[in-house]
Structure 1
Amino acid sequence: MSDVVIIGAGPAGLSAAITCAENGLKVRVIDEFIKPGGRLLGQLHQERNGEWWNGIEEAKALLQKAIELGVRINCGTPVHHLEKENTGWVIHTSNETIETPRVLLATGSAEQPTPIPGWTLPGVMSIGAAQVMTNVHRVKVGSKGIIIGVNILGTAIARELQLAGISISSMVLPPLHTLSRDSGHPEKVFESLLRVSHLAPSPLIRLGSRLMKPNWMKSVGVTFYPKTGVKVWGIPVHIRKAATRIIGQGHVEGVEVVSITAQGEPIEGTETVIPVDFVCIAGGLYPLAELAAVSGCPFHYVKELGGHIPLHNECMETPVDGLFVAGNITGIESAKIAMKQGVVAGYSIVQQTGLKEVNSLRQSAIEDVHSTRNNVTIQFHPNIAEGRRKIQQYWQEFIQVEKSS
Structure 2
Amino acid sequence: METDLLIIGGGPAGLSAAYEPARHGLKVTIVDESLRLGGQLNQQSQVLDLPSGFAKQTGMKLSQFLQDRLLNYDVDLLTKCTMIGTYKDGRIGVTNGNTTFPIQSQKTIITTGAAEDSISFPGWTLPGVMTIGAAQILLNREKVLPGKKAIVLGTNNLAFEITKQLNESGVEVIAIIEQESTVDVDADNIAYLKQANIPIYVNSSITRARGPGEVEMVLINNNGTEVAFDVDLVCIAGGLFPILEPFQVLGCELIYLSELGGWLPKYDTNFETSIPNTYVAGNAAGITAMKAIMLTGDLAGISILDSLENYNSDYVKKRKESLWTELAKAEQPEVWSARLSLIKEFELERKYVTSNR
Q: Normalising to structure 1: TM-score of the pair?
A: 0.80
Alignment of 1:147-296 (within 5 A): 147-173=152-178, 184-186=179-181, 190=182, 193=184, 196-200=185-189, 202=191, 231=194, 233-260=196-223, 267=224, 270-296=225-251
* Counterpart amino acid of residue 168 in structure 1: V
Alignment of 1:345-364 (within 5 A): 345-358=300-313, 360-364=315-319
1:338 counterpart = 2:289: no
After superposition, what is the alpha-carbon deviation per residue over 1:226-268, rounded to whole angstroms, capped at 9, x for unaligned?
Answer: xxxx7364321221332111111111111101212xxxxxx1x
Q: Using the aligned pairs only, state the percent identity.
A: 31
Residue pair 1:13, 1:106 contacting (<8 A) in 2 also: yes
C-alpha root-mean-square deviation of aligned residues, in Å?
2.3
* Counterpart amino acid of residue 186 in structure 2: S
Counterparts of 2:38 and 2:267, CA distance in 1: 24
1:61 counterpart = 2:83: no
Please identify, of 392-401 and 286-295, the stretch whose mean Cα deviation from structure 2 is larger.
392-401
Residue pair 1:114, 1:281 contacting (<8 A) in 2 also: yes
Counterparts of 2:63 and 2:170, CA distance in 1: 24
Counterparts of 2:304 and 2:330, CA distance in 1: 27
Counterparts of 2:239 and 2:34, CA distance in 1: 21
Counterparts of 2:324 and 2:140, CA distance in 1: 28
Deviation at 1:78, TM superposition (A): 2.4
Residue pair 2:201, 2:222 contacting (<8 A) in 1 also: no
Residue pair 1:302, 1:390 contacting (<8 A) in 2 also: no
Residue pair 1:8, 1:108 contacting (<8 A) in 2 also: yes
Counterparts of 1:9 and 1:142, CA distance in 2: 30
| Correspondence for 1:73 | 77
| Correspondence for 2:36 | 35
After superposition, what is the alpha-carbon deviation per residue over 1:61-85, rounded to whole angstroms, capped at 9, x for unaligned?
Answer: 001111232311122222222x264
Deviation at 1:402, TM superposition (A): 2.0
1:306 counterpart = 2:261: yes
- Show structure 2 runs of 5+ residues with no match: 50-54
* Counterpart amino acid of residue 156 in structure 1: E
1:319 counterpart = 2:274: yes
| Correspondence for 1:104 | 109
| Correspondence for 1:388 | 339
| Correspondence for 1:122 | 127
Counterparts of 2:176 and 2:141, CA distance in 1: 23
Counterparts of 2:330 and 2:340, CA distance in 1: 18
| Correspondence for 1:368 | 323
Q: Normalising to structure 2: TM-score of the pair?
A: 0.90
CA change 1:124–1:92 in 2 (3 A) is same
| Correspondence for 2:52 | none
Q: Secondary structure at the match of 2:120?
A: coil
CA change 1:152–1:360 in 2 (3 A) is same
Q: Secondary structure at the match of 1:68?
A: coil
| Correspondence for 1:91 | 93
Structure 1 residue runs of 4 or more that deviate by more than 6 Å after TM superposition: none
Q: Secondary structure at the match of 2:202?
A: strand
Counterparts of 1:370 and 1:394, CA distance in 2: 20
Counterparts of 1:275 and 1:27, CA distance in 2: 52
Q: How many residues align?
A: 348
Counterparts of 1:317 and 1:84, CA distance in 2: 21
| Correspondence for 1:223 | none
Counterparts of 2:93 and 2:195, CA distance in 1: 46
Counterparts of 1:363 and 1:319, CA distance in 2: 25
Please identify, of 360-369 and 332-341, the stretch whose mean Cα deviation from structure 2 is larger.
360-369
1:131 counterpart = 2:136: yes
* Counterpart amino acid of residue 245 in structure 1: R
